[in-house]
């Protein structure tokens, strides 16, 4: 038996309504905030990711699905959505468009990691990117969208944590100070952090190992190295969050894994998830557009993990199923007429179904029940001879005889009251 490769998952019909619900909720909120959907390729030239995410990050160093194209050029399956979006923004010169450039996207991402709860090799993200606005209200807007849409999904135990990473210059000033301190306590740090001192010193502050936490308790704070402009920006971000009632916690240790973030960094965690408790995260990345060859355009965005949302989406958030009509056609004449009737119903916009395997009326009704049909049309040879069919209400068991030629219009009007969106499930 050929099986799916490690770290990918099939989404079976039973669970796809949940996913559609999540995706539609996210998209609806984003559109309401003025974001517009962009669809970019799932693979790009490798250097795009190497230059945007950061050459020394784990993602680039060991997690990318990279392969050679036929002409030898190196391609990579996207490990995240920002790089491709920024590339498209630059390539199509969207900065020239006077309207706000606010994009949202959804789709699969790929990282070669060991799978575990809430982490897959092919996983799915929904994200937004807001280009061209340096105003802190753009940060607030993005965090607000993130918070509102997750709350709308009734996800339990959410926390929004934020931090100020400062400008690149601020971090450049801070890094040597921090490194000097870390070298002083090097012996007390875990092996990983000892390695991080050179590779990614800020990340040491976010280590979960208790000893590392203790060792870095008196570390110089990034906040003390921040320029007045960076402080002012963050101040206005927090003020904005307060103003519109978005609850948040300051987390001075929060460091995002990707190199391109600056100023505002944020993360929403969920207490009901496994070890991978980050549902969504993002931040400002003012230098990235320029770094990838565009103009100096500020930007801010976030991404949420759809698998992680699906994991904690309460069962109670059920998706209404489409009311259906089942055509129970049996007998030689009935089966033929029923098949035509089925097609007529469908062309008239009535969601209808039939199980061609069923022969007896009993088997048909059992299927109608399983499929959750509201009505079943009983159509046997007797009915054909009389030109009438029996319409059975599956909930009340009430039956009435109707002329076959009136069935379609009758069902159209009957279902009109109960159908909200004909093809929503």
Partner RNA sequence: GUGGGUGUAGCUCAGCUGGUUAGAGCGCCGGAUUGUGGAUCCGGAGGUCGCGGGUUCGAAACCCGUCACUCACCCCA
- Residues near RNA (CB under 7 A) are 1, 3-7, 9, 57-59, 63, 80, 111, 113-120, 123, 125, 192, 196, 203, 207-209, 256-258, 267, 274-281, 303-305, 307-308, 331, 360-363, 365-366, 368-370, 378, 380-383, 390, 392, 394-395, 397, 399
CB of 174 to RNA, least distance (A): 18
Q: Which is nearer to RNA, 38 or 309 (CB)?
A: 309
Helix (H, G, I), strand (E, B) or coil at 203: helix
CB of 299 to RNA, least distance (A): 15
Q: Which long-range contacts (CB under 8 A, 24 or more apart) does 335-343 make?
A: 337/379, 337/384, 337/404, 338/377, 338/379, 341/377, 341/379, 341/404, 341/407, 341/408
Q: Cα separation of 408 and 339, whole Å?
A: 13
Length of the chain as a residue count: 425
- Report the SS3 class of residue 410: helix
Minimum separation from the CB atom of position 107 to RNA (A): 13
DSSP characters for 323-346?
P-EEEEE-SHHHHHHHHHHHHHHH
In this complex, which beta carbon is closest to RNA, that of residue 64 or of residue 133?
A: 64
Helix (H) or strand (E) holding 164: strand 158-164
Least spacing, CB of residue 162 vs RNA, in Å:
13
Q: Which are the contacts of 394, defined by CB distance < 8 A and separation ≥ 6?
A: 326, 368, 369, 373, 374, 375, 376
Would you say 170 or 307 has its CB closer to RNA? 307
- Smallest separation, CB 108 to RNA (Å): 10
Q: What string of DSSP letters covers 35-85?
A: -EE----SEEEHHHHHHHH-TTSHIIIII-EEEE-TTS-EEEE-SSSHHHH
| Residue 171 vs 196, nearer CB to RNA | 196
Shortest distance in whole angstroms from residue 73 CB to RNA: 25
Residue 70 CB, shortest distance to RNA, in Å, is 27
How is the chain split among helix, strand and coil, in percent rounded to 5? Answer: 40, 20, 35
Cβ proximity to RNA: between 95 and 179 the closer is 179
* Smallest separation, CB 114 to RNA (Å): 3
Nearer to RNA, 51 or 119 (CB): 119
One-letter-per-residue 3-state SS of 284-321: ECCCHHHHCCCCCCCEEEEEEEHHHHHHHCCCCCCCCC
Question: Is the backbone of residue 184 left (phi > 0), alpha (psi -120 to 50) or beta?
Answer: alpha
Comparing CB distances to RNA, the nearer of 138 and 207 is 207
What value does the CA radius of gyration of the chain take, rounded to a whole number of Å?
28
Angle, vertex CA 420, rays to CA 417 and CA 424, nearest 5: 145
CB of 221 to RNA, least distance (A): 20
Is 232 or 401 the residue whose CB approaches RNA more closely?
401
Vertex 273, ends 63 and 425: CA angle to 5°?
Answer: 90
User: Token pair of 303, please?
Assistant: 């991404």
7 or 17: CB nearest RNA: 7
Q: Which C-beta is closer to RNA: that of 225 or that of 277?
A: 277
CB of 211 to RNA, least distance (A): 11
Considering beta carbons, is residue 213 or 347 the nearer one to RNA?
213
Q: What is the DSSP letter of 394?
A: T
**Calpha distance 81→69 (Å, rounded):** 21
Residue 243 CB, shortest distance to RNA, in Å, is 25
């Amino acid at each position: 038996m050929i099986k799916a490769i490690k770290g990918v998952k099939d989404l079976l019909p039973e669970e796809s309504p949940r996913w559609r619900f999540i995706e539609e909720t996210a998209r609806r909120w984003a559109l309401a905030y003025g974001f517009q959907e962009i669809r970019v390729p799932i693979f790009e030239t490798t250097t795009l990711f190497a230059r945007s995410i950061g050459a020394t990050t784990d993602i680039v160093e060991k997690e990318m699905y990279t392969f050679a194209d036929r002409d030898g050029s190196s391609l990579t399956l996207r490990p995240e959505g920002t790089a491709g979006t920024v590339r498209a923004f630059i390539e199509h010169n969207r900065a020239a468009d006077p309207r706000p450039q606010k994009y949202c996207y959804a789709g699969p991402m790929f990282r070669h990691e060991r799978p575990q709860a809430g982490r897959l090799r092919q996983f799915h993200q929904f994200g937004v990117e807001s280009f061209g606005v340096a105003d802190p209200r753009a940060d607030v807007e993005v965090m607000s969208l993130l918070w509102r849409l997750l709350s709308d999904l009734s996800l339990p135990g959410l926390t929004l944590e934020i931090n100020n990473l400062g400008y690149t210059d601020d971090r450049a000033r801070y890094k040597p100070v921090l490194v000097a301190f870390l070298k002083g306590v090097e012996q007390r740090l875990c092996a990983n952090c000892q390695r991080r001192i050179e590779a990614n010193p800020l990340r040491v502050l976010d280590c979960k190992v208790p000893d590392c936490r203790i060792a870095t308790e008196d570390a110089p704070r990034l906040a003390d190295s921040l320029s007045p402009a960076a402080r002012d920006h963050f101040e206005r971000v927090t003020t904005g969050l307060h103003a519109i009632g978005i609850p948040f916690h300051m987390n001075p240790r929060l460091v995002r894994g990707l190199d391109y973030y600056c100023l505002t960094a944020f993360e929403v965690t969920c207490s009901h998830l496994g070890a991978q408790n980050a549902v969504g995260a993002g931040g400002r990345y003012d230098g990235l557009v320029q770094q990838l060859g565009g103009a100096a355009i500020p930007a801010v965005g976030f991404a949420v993990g759809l698998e992680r949302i699906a994991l904690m989406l309460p069962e109670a958030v059920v998706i209404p199923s489409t009311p259906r009509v089942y055509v129970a056609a049996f007998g030689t004449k009935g089966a033929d007429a029923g098949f035509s009737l089925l097609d007529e119903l469908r062309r008239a916009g009535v969601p209808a179904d039939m199980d061609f395997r069923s022969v007896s009326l009993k088997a048909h009704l059992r299927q109608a029940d399983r499929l959750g049909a509201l009505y079943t049309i009983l159509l046997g040879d007797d009915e054909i001879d009389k030109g009438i069919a029996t319409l059975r209400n599956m909930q009340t068991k009430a039956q009435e005889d109707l002329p076959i030629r009136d069935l379609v219009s009758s069902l159209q009007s009957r279902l009109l009251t109960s159908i909200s969106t004909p093809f929503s499930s």
